[in-house]
Amino acid sequence: MYGLNGRKAIVTGGAHGIGRAIAARLVAEGCEVGIFDLDRAAAQATADALSAQGGRVVVAAGDVSSREDVAAGIGALKEALGPIDILVNNAGICKVGKLLETSEAEWKATFGINVDGLFHVTRQIAPGMVERRRGTIVNIASWMGKSGVAAYGAYCASKFAVVSLTQSLALEIGEYGIRVNAVAPGLIVETKMRDESEIQRAAEGLPTAKDRAKTIPLRRAGLPSDIAKTVAFLASDEADYITGETISVTGGIWND
């Protein structure tokens, strides 16, 4: 355990998959957690389940790509929780498809959530951290944010942006004691995004997650809990000399 008792955290996209696992791990570490998610019902179900285990979890619903939704929703979470110590920018979408066949609407939706969403939420939280001279931000990138992959052009571009924004913000606010890092998941299963991606991959004639897992050095796909463990570490004082990094959690896929 990483000694996060009493800290206040916000997780975007915390209703499902990786976000839910992160919220659960932070609750287990002693955090009070706010979930911001477009799916209010699923977010509340996650909050109820974690609260039943003794944690305090509050929910706000909204679209991270909407500046107005973020201002209202994150504002409500800050009012409920108080000053935020940990921000996890997890909300994201993935569209499979060749770049030349990607529609403008798909491109804008991908960047709206994966990049603009991070920008909107961070601008709501980071100034308070700077003022208090404490806090940590963990962004969820992707191994595809380090290496281009065919049929994932828009997604790769958006996650490259997450990596560069992580580095830039770390340089800008490090002097105030704020650490900013990212986690780059590899092939993660048991998530809503993975289920949707598998359908899209099948339509493109691409290999399944099960087949791809055979090529991973550790010979298995990752789980949401693998990402949650890394987030908890980066949010803790055990990582207090780590900033501006993007940590790959891929089972050994090399792409640096």
Judge whether 151 and 97 are in contact, CB under 8 Å: yes
In the numeric block, which tokens belong to residue 91?
């909300």
Q: Which amino acid is residue 131, in one-letter code?
A: E
Coil/strand/helix, residue 174: helix
d(CA 45, CA 8): 20
Give how far the C-alpha of residue 77 lies from the chain's centroid of Cα atoms, to the nearest Å: 17
Active site residues: 152
Give how far the C-alpha of residue 36 lies from the chain's centroid of Cα atoms, to the nearest Å: 12
In the numeric block, which tokens belong to residue 1?
């355990």
